[in-house]
Structure 1
Amino acid sequence: MAKIEFTSNDRPTVGIELELGLVDAETMALTSAYQRVEQALPAGTTGVKHELMQCVLEVNTDVCETIDDAQADLSAKLRAVESACERSGVSLWWGASHPFSLWGEQQVTNNERYLGLVEMLQEMARRLITFGMHVHVGVDSGDKAVMICDRLMRHLPTLLAISTSSPFWEGRPTGLQSFRSKVMEGLPTAGLPTLMRNWSEYVWLVNHMVDTGFINTIREIWWDVRPHHNFGTVEVRVCDMPGNLDHSLAIAALIQCLVQSLSDDIDDGAYQHDCHPMMVRQNKWRAARFGISAELVDSFTYEPEPVVEIVPRLVEMLGPTADRLGCAPWLERCERYTRETSWSRRQLNLYEETSDLSEVVRRMTAESRVTEPVRLG
């Protein structure tokens, strides 16, 4: 059985991955323009890569110490990307699903691994025209990474609720605030992870899936939260793509604080309070359906509680951790964002106002820009 080594981190570093849509600057429809944009980037640009589909561009930070570092990193890269997009007749879409483009019209990236995934997963892979944010936080051991993933599961619905930005699918309102999360759950190794007790059990599970031909590599595990052995992190993947950089950084601060707080609990010998997997599952559904208006069942009291009350309590609880990590101002923004209109609701409101999904995309892309946001209407 293959040995999988976990790369230890001695501090809670943070890394952020943003999946952004590429839309035609005139029609606002998704366009398979990644190669065109890539060629327009300045020589030596790093942290920008292709994805499964050519209508997606991923922007990644380097390994950062703080959320402020991540802001500086992403801002510089996004300015370069926005400039390349302008020269290519393309705009960036900050949302977890495109309101009207059809998945069947998008082009798969000509890459051996991606083509193999499409061959194996068929339509379940081809319809993955969704966009998410992934956040990595460094931890010091594989055992701890697995334990944190377990303890973090009850918070995943809250993280989804405050990031929801995918109310439309192929030109129609879905009735959900996060349709992306349901599309992702169509993959055989996506959604909520299985419960695991330690690194050994995780390694056994990965090897079993590879040895039996269920997956080809460990990279084909797309759980909502997972250990990442190469980076030595806990990677949270549940979030929709928020509608701008500031909101993304605020959620990343919440994730960094949660992971560090749970790590401290483990070091201090705190008792592990089990959360029933079905409770997490039903809360994730509530978050996908209602977003920040959801009521999530508390895993201690078993009573429903509004997200708008859960988030302020989390922010208060994590305050001392945020102070240590230097991200308190970012964390505090999460509470404010729960009192504002969510990204999903903003899209729906714009559609009610304009009856034009291309106008929804036009206004949202203009307002999400890092360089000189444009206010329309």
Structure 2
Amino acid sequence: MSALPDFAPSAALSLGVELELQVVNTHDYNLSPQAPDLLKLLKRTALPGSVVPEMTQSMIEISTGVCASYAEALAQLETTRDALLAAARKLEVALCGGGTHAFQHWHEQRIFEAPRYAYLSDLYGYLSKQFTIFGQHVHIGCPSANEALVLLHGLSRFIPHLIALSASSPFVQGQDTGFSSARLNSVFAFPLSGRAPFVLTWADFLGYFEKMTRTGVVKSMKDFYWDIRPKPEYGTIEVRVLDTPLTVQKAAALAGFIQCLARWLRTEQPLTLHEDDYLVYTFNRFQACRFGLDALYVDPASGKHIPLRQHLLSLMDKLEPHAQALQALPALESLRADALAGNNDAAWLRQQFARDPLLPELVRQQTHAFAQGKR
């Protein structure tokens, strides 16, 4: 039975970003199993964060160090992106964002050679290769374990808003799925996905974790694929529902938005948290995955049915003073513009495909968006 690490307190509202990226060839823009080669080239490059492998050999994950602000996270992501692009050019491959690759076939993917990925492949079978999907994770620092759990459950009410803003995975294996975020359907296939248990003290969470490890189903926090989970060794909570955006600029903006949301929840304490908040959680999450910014949102406190975009824009108004305090107004304004226009990355991908209905050309445009920092 594994013990849960002690919660290592961190600076309130500190920020960390992880991005899973696609490695594609420059011939037909299918996924290319060259992540190991990229990692070798980058081994001696000094980076502000890290570049590490992911489940399959066509995936690579970049991360920032601990950041104080949206601007710092953006600067670090841009530095790492530029180093990655230089290495990719030497290998004649390209990199892009997006929550799914538009036309790859999961059975062609190769599991990255590492003990944990071999274990997951043995455990989950074909789901491991189907996990060739690409997400953004955002860590928010918390001074104590109890504060981390309160923040986790406060942020859970806004999971649909985050899904809708970040959605970038409408295409899977050559088909338009009709979803804005089809990526999350693959995550939901895992038995320990979904939401964290409703406990608000670390003592109660330890009790839950001990019960789960006693069953033999869980060995560490990594075995939970929750939408948000505590990361005790970092002293953070980790938001895991975001599709990888098409640009690092959008990724930094989403991280800044979550930081503003956390500050609002922490300083104003506008919510009364209750287990009943989760009665509509799965419905709201599905709506956001399926319809993106055009989703319906059921307010768990009032039961009112509201257009998600309307609720999101109202939330952004509340976050404005917090964005100003955190010097994150550019992040908030860029996401507000997307929300007003109904133009998340999934919508942009569909627009591009409507103009030129060739999926390799669509992926090529994704690589240009990633390299140029704009779509």
**TM-score range, shorter-chain basis?**
over 0.9
Letter in 1 for 2:37: R
- Structure-1 separation of matches of 2:274 and 2:224: 26
- Structure-2 separation of matches of 1:236 and 1:365: 25
Pair 1:344-2:346 in alignment: yes
Residue ranges of structure 1 left out of the alignment (5+ in a row): none
Deviates more, 1:152-161 or 1:206-215: 206-215
Aligned length: 371
Q: Secondary structure at the match of 1:101?
A: coil
Letter in 1 for 2:147: K
Aligned to 1:324: 325
Aligned to 2:303: 302
- Structure-1 separation of matches of 2:40 and 2:93: 13
Q: How does 1:152-191 map to 2 (within 5 A)?
A: 152-191=155-194
TM-score (norm 1): 0.93
- Structure-2 separation of matches of 1:291 and 1:135: 20
Aligned to 1:246: 249
Alpha-carbon deviation of 1:274? 5.4
- Structure-2 separation of matches of 1:273 and 1:329: 33
Q: Secondary structure at the match of 2:237?
A: strand
- Structure-2 separation of matches of 1:177 and 1:97: 11
TM-score (norm 2): 0.94
- Structure-2 separation of matches of 1:331 and 1:139: 22
Q: How does 1:114-133 map to 2 (within 5 A)?
A: 114-133=117-136
- Residue 78 of structure 1 contacts residue 370 of structure 1 at CA under 8 Å; is this kept in 2? no
Deviates more, 1:286-295 or 1:186-195: 186-195
Aligned to 2:65: 62
Q: How does 1:182-261 map to 2 (within 5 A)?
A: 182-261=185-264
Pair 1:109-2:112 in alignment: yes
Letter in 1 for 2:208: L
- Structure-2 separation of matches of 1:146 and 1:21: 32
Deviations 1:269-321 (A, max 9, x none): x7435553231110100000001111211223322222322222111111222
Letter in 2 for 1:358: P
Alpha-carbon deviation of 1:50? 0.6
Aligned to 2:287: 286
- Structure-1 separation of matches of 2:4 and 2:278: 28
Q: Secondary structure at the match of 2:40?
A: helix
Letter in 1 for 2:9: S
Deviates more, 1:40-49 or 1:15-24: 40-49
Residue ranges of structure 2 left out of the alignment (5+ in a row): none
- Structure-1 separation of matches of 2:73 and 2:41: 24
Deviations 1:187-241 (A, max 9, x none): 1112222222221222222222223210222222121111110110111111111
- Residue 5 of structure 2 contacts residue 233 of structure 2 at CA under 8 Å; is this kept in 1? no
Shift >4 Å, 4+ stretches: none
Letter in 2 for 1:105: E
User: Structure 1 residues 3, 161: CA separation in 2 closer, same or farther (over 3 Å shift)?
Assistant: closer
- Structure-1 separation of matches of 2:110 and 2:46: 24
Q: Secondary structure at the match of 1:140?
A: coil
Deviations 1:220-264 (A, max 9, x none): 212111111011011111111111122111111111111222222
Name the % identity.
29
